[in-house]
């Protein structure tokens, strides 16, 4: 393991390991972050990516994300790593393996993604169809005679029985039945003229 143990030598020790460029003998605040990241990728990028590709089952995009996260963690942990270790690769591989395991756990914990294919053909109700239908029905109703509009208003829109509509309008029950029949027929014709089929 490349982590520095609690009994490690004092910080003033001069780093002489094969990756002393990572910390060197300079104070940590004088080390250029860009140099660290560039050297990490130059020295360990390819072997780490090959290792992670095996962990991710060949998923290159995922593997590259894991390598990037691993390098970020190495950069953040620069002060805790042992500059005398022969290689950072074992430490990097351990971190990468943990990241892959954590990613897999997160994927398993959430519902499986369905992909976009089936959703492209899925019709989402936006209310527009209902709005258009109500506009067309309103226009069709306006084309009816006042007597037909009145009888449909009482029986359908106010949900009154034939007897209640007859009492409300002051006409015989037979007349209500007859008007409902002819009003519905006229409404069907008016809707067909507007391209709506029942």
- Token pair in block for residue 50: 């090959």
As a whole number of angstroms, the distance between CA 7 and CA 185 comes to 96
pLDDT at residue 36 is higher than 70: yes
Picking from 194, 148, 125, the residue whose alpha carbon sits closest to that of residue 157 is 148
The long-range contacts involving 105-109, CB below 8 angstroms and separated by at least 24 positions, are none
Instruction: Give strand pairing partners of 81.
Output: 3
**pLDDT of 121:** 59
Termini Cα distance of the chain: 76
**pLDDT of 8:** 38
- Token pair in block for residue 109: 């914990």
Instruction: Return the higher-pLDDT residue of 79 and 5.
Output: 79
**pLDDT of 101:** 92
Q: What is the pLDDT of residues 104-142, one digit of tens each?
A: 888 888 766 655 555 555 555 556 667 677 777 888 888
Percent of the chain at pLDDT > 90 equals 21
> Do 176 and 162 form a contact (C-beta atoms < 8 A)?
yes
108's torsion region: left (phi>0), alpha (psi -120 to 50) or beta? Answer: alpha
> Do 72 and 114 form a contact (C-beta atoms < 8 A)?
no
Please report, for residues 71, 114, 141, 191, 198, the alpha-carbon distance to residue 187 in angstroms, rounded to integers and kept in the order given.
72, 44, 7, 6, 10
Rounded to an integer, the average pLDDT of 18-45 is 65
- Token pair in block for residue 68: 């990037």
In the predicted model, what is the mean pLDDT of the chain?
77
Please report, for residues 97, 101, 107, the alpha-carbon distance to residue 110 in angstroms, rounded to integers and kept in the order given.
21, 15, 6
Q: Which letter, b or e, does each residue of 2-12 get, where b requires 16 or more Cβ atoms within 10 Å of its Cβ? A: bebeeeeeeee
């Amino acid at each position: 393991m490349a982590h520095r143990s609690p009994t490690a030598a004092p910080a003033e020790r001069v780093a002489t390991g094969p990756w002393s460029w990572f910390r060197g003998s300079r104070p940590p605040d004088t080390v250029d972050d860009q140099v660290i990241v560039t050297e990490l990728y130059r020295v360990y990028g390819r072997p780490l990516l090959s290792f992670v590709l095996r962990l991710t089952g060949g998923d290159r995009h995922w593997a590259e994300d894991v390598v990037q996260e691993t390098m970020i963690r190495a950069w953040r942990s620069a002060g805790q790593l042992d500059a005398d270790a022969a290689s950072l690769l074992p430490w990097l591989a351990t971190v990468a393996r943990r990241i892959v395991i954590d990613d897999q756990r997160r994927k398993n914990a959430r519902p499986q993604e369905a992909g976009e294919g089936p959703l492209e053909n899925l019709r989402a109700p936006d209310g527009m169809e209902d709005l258009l239908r109500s506009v067309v029905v309103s226009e069709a109703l306006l084309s009816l005679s006042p007597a037909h509009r009145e009888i449909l208003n009482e029986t359908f829109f106010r949900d009154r029985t034939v007897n209640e509509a007859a009492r409300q309008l002051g006409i015989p029950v037979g007349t209500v039945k007859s008007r409902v029949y002819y009003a519905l027929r006229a409404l069907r014709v008016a809707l067909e003229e507007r391209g709506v089929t029942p």
